[in-house]
A and B are shown apart, each in its own frame.
Chain A
Amino acid sequence: MSGVYPKDFKYTKTHEWIKVTGNIGRVGLSNFAQDHLGEIVFVELPEVGAELKQGETFGVVESVKAVSDCYAPASGTVVRVNEKLVDSPELINSDPHGEGWLFEMELSDPSELDNLMDVEAYEKFEAEEEVAH
């Protein structure tokens, strides 16, 4: 699936992505995640002001059949959530790396980003996961 994943994002093993601009990280689900969940019909996002720790659950996405936890790719404070998802959760399916973003956070420890995968590592990881499924 080369070319699907933006090169300037970092990725988690639980298939979230984060795009960092200055001290702000925008978070979403990867194409692999949305594809495997199927049509997303419900999203529960963190509230603005919520303190997240890297690796902790921050919310839930639900497809017709499955409820899936989402894990924070970094630690920090939620500063903005994508309100469009309340009425249009399917944006996560149609544009997972763009319009389907979940929330933005102010990073408390940018060095944590070194624990995440870059696009090359994620593409390799995702391809292995694809085979495992």
Chain B
Amino acid sequence: MTGPKKTPLYDLHVKHGGRIIDFGGWALPVQYTSIIEEHRTTREKAGLFDVSHMGEFRVTGKDPLGFLQKAVTNDIAKADVGRCIYSPMCYPSGGCVDDLIVYRLGEKEYLVVVNAANAAKDFAWMTDILEGFPGTRLVDESDGTAELALQGPKAETILQKVTEVDLKAIGYYRVRDKVKVAGRTCMVSRTGYTGEDGFEIFSSPEDAPEIWEALMEAGRPEGLVPVGLGARDTLRFEASMPLYGQELDAERTPLEAGLGRFVSFDKGDFIGREALLAQKERGLERKLVGFEMVGRGIPRHEYPILDAAGQAEIGYVTSGSYAPSLERNLGSGYVPVEMSGIGQKIHVGIRGRAVEAVVVRTPFYKRRRPTGA
């Protein structure tokens, strides 16, 4: 038995007091000081996250676009160089293999960033698809890539202190390759998983600790704090961003998960198209909703959702938490479409009791964008 894998920043996490847990085979900090504090500081100022566990695949060669169009549901042809595109990747059944971001770095060069827990599965899946694209290459660069996320309203101010590149020129869901950050060559994108403005910074594993320390130093006057996995989850949850293994899995389709705008039926064939089109034409039977607890209790992953009378089981909770910025107990879960309307009364089964909840609008949290942006 080998222990969990360490990211290049492991020693720094320990040094800065991170409470290390085994997260899907990775030794990562769940928190440094407090999940609630780290969450709120990210919303109000800025937070720095080690997300080096994410998987990175480079696609190059003869027909990377054709390959990606086949593999994922969104229309990658919409990406000019420097654009990032979020997309589900589906099985022929329409269920999700994963959700990912495709970064177009050159005419025929893309980087695909996938969930850590799915990286091996995704690579095997995509390698099978690649057989239909001779001359196109797919390379797993996960081990050679570190990734930091700098998130929050102060993220741009902080990153600008350690890079020459004008960050205003990197718009939302845009990426710039070969950027110097703290003197090291990086790829920088304006992406994230918190619902805040912010950047993700990809570098070599050797350079990552120095970039981390330079950002912490530059961010000190702005109130930057290191943030663990605990707050990463509550931040993404408040912003209603799906998490694979909870909102998404091999059974649920992107249409059920409310990700229809990332499924392009017009772009031509892709894996899962037939099943998803049939589901769309048939109409959905169930869908993902957000809800707020009315009674006392916190909904949690896999708790049953019960009907308005609190009797029949009609669905299940995918994620639930005390929401640190909204200060309410919120959840998301799948329910039958006829019970998915805003204001619908439902119940959550918590330790054998039916606790009342109500379906509310999502995302639960939406940041205020600066005027003029």
Contacts and interface: CB of A to CB of B under 8 A. Distances in A.
30 contacts: A38-B31, A38-B34, A38-B35, A39-B34, A39-B35, A39-B36, A41-B36, A41-B298, A41-B322, A42-B296, A42-B297, A42-B298, A42-B322, A42-B329, A44-B296, A44-B297, A60-B351, A62-B298, A62-B322, A63-B35, A64-B36, A64-B230, A64-B234, A64-B321, A64-B324, A65-B30, A65-B233, A67-B298, A67-B300, A86-B296
B364 to A, nearest CB: 15
Interface of A: 38-39, 41-42, 44, 60, 62-65, 67, 86
A65 B297 contact: no
Contact of B230 (A38, A41, A86): A38
Contacts of B300: 67
Given A38-B230, A42-B322, A42-B329, A64 B35 contact: yes
Nearest to B35: A64
Per CB-CB distance, the 7 closest pairs between chain A and chain B, nearest first, are A41-B322, A64-B35, A39-B36, A42-B298, A65-B230, A62-B298, A39-B34
B294 to A, nearest CB: 15
Contacts of B34: 38-39
**Chain B at the A interface: mostly helix, strand, loop or mixed?**
mixed
Contacts of A86: 296
Contacts of B234: 64
Interface string B60-83: 000000000000000000000000
Interface in B216-234: 230, 233-234
Given A39-B35, A42-B297, 19 more contacts: A38-B35, A38-B230, A39-B34, A41-B322, A42-B296, A42-B298, A42-B322, A42-B329, A44-B297, A62-B298, A62-B322, A63-B35, A64-B35, A64-B230, A64-B321, A64-B324, A65-B30, A65-B233, A67-B300
A77 B14 CA distance: 45
B231 to A, nearest CB: 8
Contacts of B233: 65
**Chain A at the B interface: mostly helix, strand, loop or mixed?**
strand
B32 to A, nearest CB: 11
Interface residues of B, number: 17
A42 B293 CA distance: 13
A67 B350 CA distance: 11
A65 B36 CA distance: 11
Contacts of A65: 30, 35, 230, 233
A41 B35 CA distance: 11
Contacts of B329: 42
Nearest to A90: B36
Nearest to A43: B296
A44 B322 CA distance: 15
B327 to A, nearest CB: 10
B351 A64 contact: no
Contacts of B321: 64
B108 to A, nearest CB: 43
Which of A60, A64, A67 lies at the interface centre, i.e. has the most chain B CB atoms within 10 A of its CB? A64
A3 to B, nearest CB: 22
B69 to A, nearest CB: 39
A64 B234 CA distance: 8
B370 to A, nearest CB: 29
